């Protein structure tokens, strides 16, 4: 019984946004509500400013901060809330995509003036692929922004998801007076406060009540009634099932920096969001309630001290109970490991834990045995599916600059790509190493870390590739023929899968036309991937 209660009370999610929409601010306010921190400003901004592109100390600081804030946990209303941090910088987007495999739902933050931005679209695409339930928080309502109805239309058309407002703003910017909480049928009045979390809440269950006119003025009250009427006409009644299946995203309005609308968001979130879900494996679906412990590694973080090459592997517990000092089976290596100091990350503090439950994230000290995507079980041999690699966007060939250090370079690049800093594709003949990333910044990180941690010097030469495409086909003969014909554009990924490095969209299109039995994928997660 206790085990089932432990699972039911957990909520593991991520807050995602385009940089600057207010992810850090909202995270901080949630931590304030949960009592995990006492003052605003305690959460460091986990992002590298644009000017820091070549500032290595900044990169190192960023790595430090992101370990410290990897998981922020607190209790609220009897629920155990686990917020998984995602990097703010777009060059680390791949890291964010992987973290999304470890959560059960997300809160997506939108700036009310900017609406849907580039990074919002890409993050949402990953959520859609995985059918992750999404709640949208439209932030910065204290500033002049766009019309709420226009914003909702834009969300639906650009993010390809149905939306359903569960709160509604009364005015915007200078005229912003508060939000009407549709979910609770409550009027919340706006009192800007950057430091306090208290606010005046007046409960009005009848939207026709004169009290609303008295509180916000006749004009605003009239408009609110009209708009609520329109909402009821345009949007279907909110059904939590459609949210849980990833088909409808409930929308809340507020102002994170002023602590407004945050409590409503948090409480509604805790009420409707899913408790830890199971995950698909190559031997079927594993439910969190299963007796046997299992989990997977979704993130690896190198030690900040270059003298110690140990790392922290972040494991999401999927089923059963994880215990300290207990032997667990690492499926890929077919080896058993015991963890003396498994760590939880509560806001800024690290602490050793004795046990963990489904939905929890445990930091495991690792000396190089883990790769992203690895499965840990009690004894079974199944592997979790779906830590996808996405096609990189920038490709460079890695060249060794110091022949005496080639072993160090090999080892360094192997370990850094195990951590997921970048993807490695090896081309024959000559074992040429093509490194692929989503952002320029990673190349600087790699160069810096190879020098500082492995004593190897390298150079990068740009390669003009458009995409790396994984391939599947029911016609093995055609696939073999393609691989032979395109040798100079074929490389192997880390798992020895052949990958087609397409130079241009046109050349990819030609390949698709000429080899009709081959499917080209932009992610390595073929089952849910799309072309």
Would you tell me which residues interact with ligand G4P (CB under 6 A)?
Answer: 17, 19-25, 45, 47, 88, 139-140, 142-143, 255-258
- Shortest separation between residue 160's beta carbon and ligand G4P, angstroms: 22
Residue 17 or 417: which CB sits closer to ligand G4P? 17
Q: Give the pair of three-digit tokens for residue 219.
A: 């004009």
Residue 10 or 18: which CB sits closer to ligand G4P? 18
- Shortest separation between residue 22's beta carbon and ligand G4P, angstroms: 4
- Shortest separation between residue 68's beta carbon and ligand G4P, angstroms: 16
Residue 256 or 312: which CB sits closer to ligand G4P? 256
Helix, strand or coil, per DSSP, at residue 409: helix
- Shortest separation between residue 319's beta carbon and ligand G4P, angstroms: 33
Helix, strand or coil, per DSSP, at residue 259: coil
Cα radius of gyration (the chain)? 25
- Shortest separation between residue 24's beta carbon and ligand G4P, angstroms: 3
Residue 87 or 529: which CB sits closer to ligand G4P? 87
* Contacting residues for 473 by C-beta, under 8 A, at least 6 apart: 479, 515, 517, 518, 519
- Shortest separation between residue 255's beta carbon and ligand G4P, angstroms: 3
In whole angstroms, give the CA distance from residue 413 to residue 494. Answer: 11
193-196-201 Cα angle (round to 5): 75
In whole angstroms, give the CA distance from residue 339 to residue 138. Answer: 42
Q: Which long-range contacts (CB under 8 A, 24 or more apart) does 505-514 make?
A: 505/466, 507/466, 508/466, 508/467, 508/469, 511/482, 511/486
Residue 213 CB-half CA count within 13 A: 6
Print the SS3 string covering 182-231.
Answer: CCCCEEEECCCCCCCCCCCEECCCCCCCHHHHHHHCHHHHHHHHHHHHHH
Phi and psi torsions of 431, nearest 5°: 55, 40
CA nearest 332: which of 373, 274, 279? 373
- Shortest separation between residue 337's beta carbon and ligand G4P, angstroms: 36
- Shortest separation between residue 92's beta carbon and ligand G4P, angstroms: 12
Residue 92 or 370: which CB sits closer to ligand G4P? 92
- Shortest separation between residue 112's beta carbon and ligand G4P, angstroms: 9
Residue 15 CB-half CA count within 13 A: 33
Residue 16 or 424: which CB sits closer to ligand G4P? 16
- Shortest separation between residue 111's beta carbon and ligand G4P, angstroms: 8
CA nearest 456: which of 444, 448, 468, 466? 448
Residue 70 or 330: which CB sits closer to ligand G4P? 70
Helix, strand or coil, per DSSP, at residue 95: helix
- Shortest separation between residue 129's beta carbon and ligand G4P, angstroms: 22
Per DSSP, the residues of 455-476 read ---EEEEEE---EEEEEEES-H
Residue 145 or 358: which CB sits closer to ligand G4P? 145
For the chain, the straight-line distance linking the first and the last C-alpha, in angstroms and rounded, comes to 45
Determine the distance from the C-alpha atom of residue 456 to the mean position of all C-alpha atoms in its chain, rounded to a whole number: 32
Residue 114 or 519: which CB sits closer to ligand G4P? 114
If 0-12 CB within 10 Å is exposed, 13-18 middle and 19+ buried, where does residue 340 land? exposed
- Shortest separation between residue 299's beta carbon and ligand G4P, angstroms: 19
Residue 139 or 400: which CB sits closer to ligand G4P? 139
142-137-104 Cα angle (round to 5): 160
Residue 22 or 359: which CB sits closer to ligand G4P? 22
Residue 282 carries which DSSP code?
Answer: B
CA nearest 276: which of 286, 291, 266, 263? 286
Residue 347 or 372: which CB sits closer to ligand G4P? 347
Give CA separation, 8 vs 4, 12, 306, in Å.
Answer: 6, 11, 41
């Amino acid at each position: 019984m206790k085990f089932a209660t432990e699972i039911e009370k957990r909520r593991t999610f991520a807050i995602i946004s385009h940089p600057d929409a207010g992810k850090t601010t909202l995270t901080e306010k949630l931590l304030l509500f949960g009592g995990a921190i006492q003052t605003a400003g305690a959460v460091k901004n986990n992002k590298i400013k644009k000017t820091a592109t070549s500032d290595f100390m900044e990169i190192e600081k960023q790595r430090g901060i992101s370990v410290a804030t990897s998981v922020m946990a607190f209790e609220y209303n009897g629920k155990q809330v686990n917020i998984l941090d995602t990097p703010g910088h777009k060059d680390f987007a791949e890291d964010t995509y992987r973290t999304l495999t470890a959560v059960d739902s997300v809160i997506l933050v939108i700036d009310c003036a900017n609406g849907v931005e580039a990074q919002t679209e890409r993050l949402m695409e990953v959520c859609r692929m995985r059918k992750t339930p999404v709640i949208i928080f439209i932030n910065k309502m204290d500033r002049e922004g766009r019309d709420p109805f226009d914003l909702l239309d834009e969300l639906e058309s650009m993010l390809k998801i149905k939306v359903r407002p569960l709160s509604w703003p009364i005015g915007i910017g200078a005229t912003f007076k508060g939000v009407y909480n549709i979910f609770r049928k409550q009027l919340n009045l706006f009192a800007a406060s950057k430091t306090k979390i208290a606010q005046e809440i007046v409960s009005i269950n009848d939207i026709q009540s004169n009290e609303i006119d008295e509180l916000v003025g006749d004009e605003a009250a009239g408009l609110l009634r009209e708009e609520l009427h329109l909402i009821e006409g345009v949007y279907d009644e909110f059904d939590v099932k459609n949210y849980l299946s990833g088909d409808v995203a409930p929308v809340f309005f507020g102002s994170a920096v002023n602590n407004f609308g945050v409590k409503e968001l948090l409480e509604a979130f805790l009420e409707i969001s899913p408790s830890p879900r199971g995950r698909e494996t190559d031997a079927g679906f594993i439910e969190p309630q299963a007796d046997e412990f299992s989990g997977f590694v979704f993130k690896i973080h190198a030690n900040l001290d270059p003298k110690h090459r140990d790392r922290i592997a972040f494991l999401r517990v999927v089923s059963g109970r994880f215990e300290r000092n207990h032997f667990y089976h690492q499926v890929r290596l077919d080896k058993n490991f015991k963890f003396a100091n498994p760590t939880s990350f509560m806001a800024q503090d690290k602490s050793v834990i004795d046990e963990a439950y489904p939905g929890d994230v445990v930091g495991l000290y690792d000396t190089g045995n883990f790769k992203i995507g690895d499965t840990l079980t009690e004894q079974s041999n199944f592997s979790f599916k779906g830590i996808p690699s996405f096609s990189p966007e920038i490709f460079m060939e890695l060249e060794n600059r110091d022949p005496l250090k080639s072993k160090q370079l090999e080892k360094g690049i192997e370990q850094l790509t195990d951590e997921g800093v970048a993807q490695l594709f090896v081309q024959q003949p000559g074992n040429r190493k093509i490194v692929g990333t989503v952002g320029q910044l990673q190349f600087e990180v790699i160069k810096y870390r190879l020098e500082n941690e492995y004593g190897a010097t390298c150079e990068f030469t740009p390669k003009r590739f458009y995409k790396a495409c994984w391939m599947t086909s029911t016609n093995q003969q055609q696939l073999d023929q393609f691989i032979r014909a395109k040798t100079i554009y074929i490389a192997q990924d880390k798992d020895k899968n052949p990958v087609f490095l397409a130079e241009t969209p046109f050349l990819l299109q030609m390949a698709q036309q000429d080899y009709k039995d081959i499917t080209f994928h932009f992610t390595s997660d073929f089952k849910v991937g799309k072309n």
